[in-house]
Amino acid sequence: MPYTDHFQLADDYVAHLDVVIGAISDPFIKSRYSGFLAVSAVTVYELAIKSVFIEFASHKHKILGSFTSSYFDRINGRIRVQIVRDEYIKKFGEKYVRRFRKGLDKCEKEILRTDGESVTSCYENVITWRNDFAHQGLIPATATYEEVKKAYTFGKQVIHCLATTMHR
């Protein structure tokens, strides 16, 4: 399955929420939806990251693909940029680490210039909001539904950079 297919799960949820969120007047309920969106976003980020690495490894060698699939069954939300770069990508070689850094830097500069957003910050914020909500029951206090949605969308660029990096 292409890694981008995983995004559809959260994208469908966003499409649904876009219709209903305007009708909700209770700020507490709106904030809960923001938390649920962050959880959904990180879930699809994790699934997409696993798919990128498994597809890459499987194209290299059948046994490497099998090992990688088993290894990534245990990442459990450990998908911050530093972990992806320094723990996961590094296992495949420094050339991929350099390629990822270069690609992410280029993407970061381009999106900052065109949209005024940091894709890395957006990605990291979604993970933080998800962790706060899922592990402590804390709602994204400083983020509205629209901000979580925007961060999720821009954060996908980190995974697109990863996929480009790990493409043979």
> Which tens digit of pLDDT belongs to each residue from 133-146?
888 877 767 788 99
pTM over 0.85: yes
pLDDT, tens digit, for every residue of 90-106? 999 999 999 999 999 99
Candidates 29, 36, 35; CA nearest to 9 is 36
Per residue in 17-38, pLDDT (tens digit) is 999 998 999 988 888 899 999 9
